[in-house]
Amino acid sequence: MPSRNMYAEPFRIKAIETIKETTRSTREMLIKEAGYNVFNLRGEDVYIDLLTDSGTAAMSDNQWAGMMLGDESYAGCKNFYHLRDAINDIMGYKYVVPTHQGRAAENILMTLMVKAGQRVLGNMHFDTTEGHILIRNAKPVNLVIPEGKQPAIHHPFKGNFDLERLEAEIKQFGRAQIPFVLITVTCNNNGGQPVAMANIRGVREIASRYGIPVYLDAARYAENCYFIKMREPGYQDKSIKEIAREMFSYADGCTMSAKKDALVNIGGFLAFKDDRELYEKAVQVQITYEGFRTYGGLAGRDLEAIARGLYEGIDERYLENRIRQVAYLGEELLAAGIPIIEPPGGHGIYVDVKRFLSHLPQAAFPAQALVVELYLEAGIRAVELGTCAFGYRNPETGEMVYPEMELVRLAIPRRVYTDRHMDLVVRAFRAIAARKERIPGLRLVYEAPVLRHFTARFEMLSFHH
């Protein structure tokens, strides 16, 4: 797959949003005021926003047209049926519970299934999923293959489950301790890495032998299906929809944040293959937290945009362009000598800051320091996945515990930026690389007791030049 720009986007641009350019001195002032935390910046002060690919997609004319067909009836709006039909068609799931976003679907599923002391087995649980498991005093267990945790090692499916460990866990703890197995496709936490169909089938076989249900976290399932088509023998001639149908057939249901592969700005759902009883229980929780069964916290127009976005998200020309753009940024960064998680995943590039800023100890928040530098250099907003997000103080000794990986994620919104924007990101990295030894570390001056990365404040350790 040539990732260079040998052919153009499979769309043309109908509406544009002007983005503001700022001067370096303005950015110096703004980032200082923000406590060197980009979550505290205003979106309009950012030139290229790579904070997340979640809820940031550009909708199509077809989706916007659908928004005008929103049926805002409290009960039974037609857009719910459109969404249900799309999910029946693409995923093969009968029962659909709309929610305001992905974590709300997780909340409903966990309320039904997870009890204190249990273990939820996953390849790598996303943060919100892990949170929902932990607040129920259960344990999230991550069983990704060892290659999945090594940034420089190439493997076509770094999101795969370690099937031996999966079976060993089940044997050790038993069915009663394990409410379900959750497969996150693609695996966000190690770089948007895909899971192979053979591996998903393997999880299903093992789980079935012990009578354990399997669920998918389907936020980025379409990107995962595209990687299967490109990389897994036997899938080259299948359509993305056929691949999706097979993938979902191995699970009992899914949660989905529609803010990713359904190309919308808000929304999500929980779906069950055929368990009517479980669906009715889910509706009870949905009604308490989200809303009536046919809207679940969303407007009719939002349901319509998801229904249409689901089809656009499995369009092969769209996916080819999407995955190619991510790969393009990755290859250009590698050419500039920037160490990244290889191979590039589906929704962004993850810079390996332990290797890039090797002069900074983890105590000086190297990944956060790079995030600050990217903003100062070119108004680019990335996100830290390192000591700030995952480091913590040992409650007994008060000593810092540092995470294995120190990463900066450049998440690429869908259909929003062109390759020219990617070129600008690469240029910023080249400039930073040329003076990287002089990049100062940071000192944490404020932290909240939980999820500190959203509100943390820093100071620069030495004067910045």
Annotated catalytic, 226? no
119-122 vs 139-142, strand pairing mode? parallel
Q: Which SS3 state, helix, strand or coil, does residue 386 take?
A: coil
Instruction: Please report where in the chains the tokens 């996303």 appear, as a residue.
Output: 126
Q: Which tokens belong to 451? A: 């999820």
Contact between 184 and ligand P71 by CB under 6 A: the answer reads: yes
- Has 429 been annotated as catalytic? no
**Catalytic member of 45, 89, 127, 423:** 127
Q: Compose the 256-295 pattern: x for residues touching ligand P71 by CB under 6 A, - for all others.
A: -x-x--------x---------------------------
Choice among 7, 20, 65, 74 that is catalytic:
74
Spatial separation of the C-alpha atoms in residues 459 and 130, rounded to whole Å: 30
Indicate which residue of 49, 71, 217, 302 is catalytic.
217
Of 364 and 371, which CB lies nearer to ligand P71 in the complex structure? 371
**138, 297, 94, 262 alpha-carbon torsion, rounded to 10°:** -90
Q: How many CB atoms lie within 10 A of CB 428?
A: 20
- The answer to whether residue 274 is catalytic is no
Q: What is the torsion angle, in degrees rounded to the nearest 10, for the CA atoms of residue 309, residue 313, residue 317 and residue 319?
A: 150
Does position 150 bind ligand P71 by CB under 6 A? no
Q: Collapsing DSSP states into helix, strand and coil, what is residue 50?
A: coil
d(CA 320, CA 199): 23
Using rule CB under 6 A, residue 316 touches ligand P71: no
Do 309 and 263 touch, CB atoms closer than 8 A? yes
User: Quick one: 330 or 441, whose CB is closer to ligand P71?
Assistant: 330
Contacts with 85 (C-beta within 8 Å, 6 or more apart), sequence order? 307
Residue 115 designated active-site: no
Give yes or no for residue 455 binding ligand P71 (CB under 6 A): no
Instruction: State the Cα angle at 134 between 128 and 137, rounded to 5°.
Output: 155
Minimum distance between the CB of residue 52 and ligand P71, rounded to whole angstroms?
A: 3
Residue 188 touches ligand P71, criterion: CB under 6 A: yes
Q: Is 94 in the site for ligand P71 (CB under 6 A)?
A: no
Listed in sequence order, the residues at least 6 apart from 358 whose beta carbon sits closer than 8 Å to its beta carbon are: none
- For residue 325, count other CB atoms closer than 10 A to its CB: 22
How far apart are CB 99 and ligand P71 at their closest, in Å?
9
Residue 45 annotated as catalytic? no
d(CA 188, CA 118): 24
In the complex, minimum distance from the CB of residue 38 to ligand P71, in angstroms, rounded to a whole number: 12
CB of 463 to ligand P71, least distance (A): 32
Residue 168 designated active-site: no
Residue span binding ligand P71 (CB under 6 A) among the ranges 87-95, 100-108, 166-174, 388-396: 100-108
Quick check: 102 binds ligand P71 (CB under 6 A)? yes
37 contacts ligand P71 (rule: CB under 6 A): no
> Residue 49 CB, nearest distance to ligand P71 (Å)?
12
Residue 407, classed as helix, strand or coil, is strand
Does residue 414 belong to the site contacting ligand P71 (CB under 6 A)?
A: no
Using the rule CB under 6 A, is 241 a contact of ligand P71? Answer: no
Q: Does 215 bind ligand P71 (CB under 6 A)?
A: no
Is 217 a binding residue for ligand P71 by CB under 6 A? The answer is: yes
Give the integer Cα–Cα distance in Å for 248 and 93. Answer: 8
For the chain, what is the largest distance between any 2 Cα atoms, rounded to a whole number of angstroms? 63
- What number of chain residues touch ligand P71 (CB under 6 A)? 15
Residue from 36, 126, 157, 248 carrying the catalytic annotation:
126
- The rounded distance, in Å, linking the Cα atoms of 152 and 140 is 26
Q: Which residue is nearest to ligand P71 (CB)?
A: 102
Whether 217 is catalytic: yes
User: What burial letters (b/e) apply to 279-314, b meaning 16+ CB within 10 Å?
Assistant: beebbebbeeebbbbbbbbbbbbbbbbbbbbbbbbb
Q: Name which of residues 106 to 145 contact ligand P71 (CB under 6 A).
A: 126-128
Nearest approach in angstroms of CB 287 to ligand P71 is 19
Compute the least distance from the CB of residue 257 to ligand P71, in Å: 3
Q: Smallest gap, in angstroms, from Cβ of residue 129 to ligand P71?
A: 6
Q: Which residues are catalytic?
A: 74, 126-127, 217, 219, 260, 453
Q: Which residues bind ligand P71 (CB under 6 A)?
A: 52, 54, 101-103, 126-128, 184, 188, 217, 219, 257, 259, 268
